[in-house]
Structures are given as C-alpha cells and as structure tokens.
Amino acid sequence: MIVKVINKSSNPLPGYATGFAAGLDVRADNPEPIVLQPLGRAMVPTGLFLEIPAGYEVQVRPRSGLAAKKGITVLNAPGTIDADYRGEVCVILVNLSDQPFTVERGERIAQLVLAKHEVIEWEETDSLAESGRGAGGFGSTGVK
C-alpha cells in the first residue's frame, strides 16, 4: 500500500525492524531534549506528514521495549491518524515510571501500523439478537 509522506525531519523514514514486523519504528524530531517527569506527558513531534488512502488509518502504538524497560508508552494507545489529516504526526508519550526520562532527537518512540477500517452505517432498531454473553461485561465471562 502506498502512503505519501513528507519528511521534514533529519531522521530516515520510519522502517520495519524485521521482515515480519507489523509496525514501522518512528523517531522523535524534537529540536531540544524533552524531559518526561514521572507521570508526565508530552506531544513529541516526528517531522512527518502523511497522505493516507481513504478507508485506512495509521495507528500509533507503543514500542514494547521502551514500555518494558523504561515505562514509556503512548498515552492514547492506539492513537489514530485519520486519512484526511494533513498536519504533522506527533506522538503523545507518557512516563509511567518513577524516574525522569529524556526523549532525544532521533530516538525510536513509537510504531506506526497501517490498518484498513470500515464505515459504520447505523440501523436503528428496538431489539438486538440474543447472544450467549448477553449484557455481561467487564470480567463477566469468568475467563482467567
């Protein structure tokens, strides 16, 4: 799938770390280091601008290594970049650790995943089909 991109950063375009990776590693393009204090958050610029085809979105997801090793994750994971958005891609990072974390320019901060989506057409009704689960939610299935 072709996605048009303008790269105003000094970083290479996002790339796949392995041949079977679903997400492309995206890098920070902040002019100065950003210090995330514990429980702090910041919008980190990437210098990327996308033209995503209609019927698709780009999801912004955390990097597992950064989350596991440093407690840094994407606050609104997964974030969604809509096909009609033309502004700079920014990543909302949050520090869930008890130590400050510095985001340096060029650091891999998140993954981008291209995902197809459908458009909902609502059909109003007075009843829904029965299911085995019914209205049970939030742990009601008992599956451990």
Task: Say if CB 97 and CB 33 are below 8 A apart.
Answer: no
Sequence-distant (≥ 6) Cβ neighbours of residue 72 within 8 angstroms = 36, 62, 66, 93, 94, 95, 96, 97, 101, 109
Q: Which residue has the tokens 């997801």?
A: 61
**Model confidence at 143, in pLDDT bands (50, 70, 90)?**
low
Q: Return the SS3 of 46.
A: strand
Give per-residue pLDDT as tens, 64-115: 999 999 999 999 999 999 999 999 999 999 999 999 999 999 999 999 999 9
Task: Supply the mean pLDDT for the chain.
Answer: 95
- What single letter denotes the amino acid at residue 97? S
pLDDT (tens digit per residue) in 32-48: 999 999 999 999 999 99
What pLDDT, on the 0 to 100 scale, is given for residue 135?
84
Span 114-143, average pLDDT: 88
Superfamily of domain 4-116: Deoxyuridine triphosphatase (dUTPase) (2.70.40.10)
Domain definitions of the chain by residue range: 4-116
